[in-house]
Structure 1
């Protein structure tokens, strides 16, 4: 058992949009760990960061990922920083991990510079670049399939994922 596909990537890579379409294409359910964290905490991710701190958010996130990997057999989307947790990286071994690769300019246009994303509060473009640069090697190491999303329609990305996982 386990997810048919686990989507990872930077903010703005399309994990939620592509994940929903991929799940629909495969005839399975879609699950997003950020939504699960929000449900467990009873508040948005940005409020968890502000009120409880990043450490609390990461603990909730790691538990949501652990549970989803064990229970979910559809398409799973992880928050961009979920892969920073060593235990989570270990749990992802053997799963069909798909890295949705996005360039900085596309990520900025998709996320927006006035976003409520907690790690992008000060100088969002610079912060996003730092996040992407730091996380890219982790994403690449975990992925069994990498799909570039820049200047592509979500359906095209889904087509490539389906081919890559076949």
Structure 2
């Protein structure tokens, strides 16, 4: 079993929103590894960061991604930082991975002041700028396709991503 599509991208790129729209369009399940982690641990990611730290969260994330890649037949959205782990990048080889690319102005507009996003708690705009610069090469390295999300609706993006998927 393998996902029909794995979505990667920065915070605010639309992974969850577009992922849900894409899954609905394709008639398949939608899965988000961030939601998997929250369900497993029983608390929001922001609390995991506060209580156990980012390193612990990243360990949980690597395990969640590995499980989801092996057990998901639908659309899978990964957390924005999942691609930082070499283990995850290696696990994505052979999968259809779509990078939802977003530029800073749209990302800032979409995430607002970073409520519920622990890495964006302090100075969200500067942090987003840094995250975009740091992670963009990793997204590009794992992606089989890139879709620019700026100024577009989730439904438009779902249609474009669906057209990129192997038949």
State the partner residue of 1:96.
96
Q: 1:66-105 maps to which residues of 2 (within 5 A)?
A: 66-105=66-105
Tell me if structure 2 keeps the 8 A contact 1:30–1:76. Answer: yes
Tell me if structure 1 keeps the 8 A contact 2:7–2:98. Answer: yes
SS of structure 2 residue aligned to 1:80:
coil
Distance 1:165 1:45 in 2: 30
Which aligned segments of 4 or more residues in structure 1 are displaced greater than 2 angstroms?
none
TM-score if structure 2 supplies the norm length?
Answer: 0.97
Distance 1:73 1:106 in 2: 30
State the partner residue of 1:36.
36
Distance 1:123 1:111 in 2: 12
Does 1:122 find its partner at 2:104? no
Deviations for 1:115-144, whole angstroms, at most 9, x for unmatched residues? 231111221100110001000011011111
Q: Which runs of 5+ in 1 are unaligned?
A: none
TM-score if structure 1 supplies the norm length?
Answer: 0.97
State the partner residue of 1:24.
24
SS of structure 2 residue aligned to 1:157:
helix
Distance 1:124 1:114 in 2: 6
Deviations for 1:78-121, whole angstroms, at most 9, x for unmatched residues? 00000111101000000000000001010000000252311112
RMSD of aligned alpha carbons: 0.9
State the partner residue of 1:62.
62
The number of residue pairs the alignment matches comes to: 166
Q: Which runs of 5+ in 2 are unaligned?
A: none
